[in-house]
Amino acid sequence: MRAYSLHIGVNNVNPVHYNGWDGILACCENDAKFYSEVAGKAGITEQTLLLSSDADEYKRPLTANVNAYLKKQSETLKNGDFLFISYSGHGGQVKDINHDEDDFQDETWCLWDRQLIDDELWDHFSRFEAGVKILMVSDSCHSGSMSRGAGEETATVLPKRYVTREAPRDIGLEAYHNNKQDYADAVRMPLVIKDDIAASVLLLGACQDAEKAVEQDGFGLMTGALRKVLLENERPGTYKQVHSRIFDLISAIQRPNLFAYGRESALFREEEMFKIDPKKYFSFIRK
């Protein structure tokens, strides 16, 4: 069994693409480094870290880098292999062109150079072999169904004091319309049919599709809550149990989502979190 991980932290974006908006955030790279540490403790040695502050263009959160990484892994991973993906940054929404969303909106990640649309992630995941497990953590606004799926439409109302990870709707739509050539392939993706996924995909999203994700105390709110759970519990429990614990901690502000699809996704939800090696259990607690 092989295990790999990709960690993306976007504290700012390219104003040229986003019509002068730089999307400054403070804690997304901290999140990415935290998830890299978690991956290391889970026994994942093959890690890739993409940070907006990195001067090397091959180590920055560019769409080409993310797409190339996922393409390579879809061609490499086999039955029993594990892929852990984390993203921290602004989340956005654009018009759903292929009409596979109940709310008529596609969710996006705001990477440095452009928005990555959720249909693009689904297209990558659909190419993985049966038996591959893909864990995805998205600490961003509108992340309830970023991996593809139906999120809730209701939302909590946040006080203005909170720093949110939401790309302003007008900014995202304007960037989308002014740079249509950058999104040409993305919007031509076929209709998403979740039954087509042979691999197992599990998403832990920071909030519901209609909600905003907050950052405070050095991390995204959801990431900070997960960190607290992992520090206080030597054996954190199943993904389903950990989601419930995080939900209880932060649901007054935002409601994290746990969504799974694929051939063996129901079993994936019931597995012990971050237990990559069947012979060992995961423990994040610092000894």
- Give the pLDDT mean for 33-53: 97
Q: Which domains does the chain have, with CATH numbers?
A: 3-269 (3.40.50.1460)
Q: What is the mean pLDDT of the chain?
A: 87
pLDDT at 149 over 90: no
For the stretch 268-280, pLDDT in tens is 999 999 999 888 8
Residue in the block written with tokens 């002014």:
178
What's the pLDDT score for residue 148?
A: 45
pLDDT at 100 over 90: no
What's the pLDDT score for residue 263?
A: 87
* Banded pLDDT at 161 (limits 50, 70, 90): low
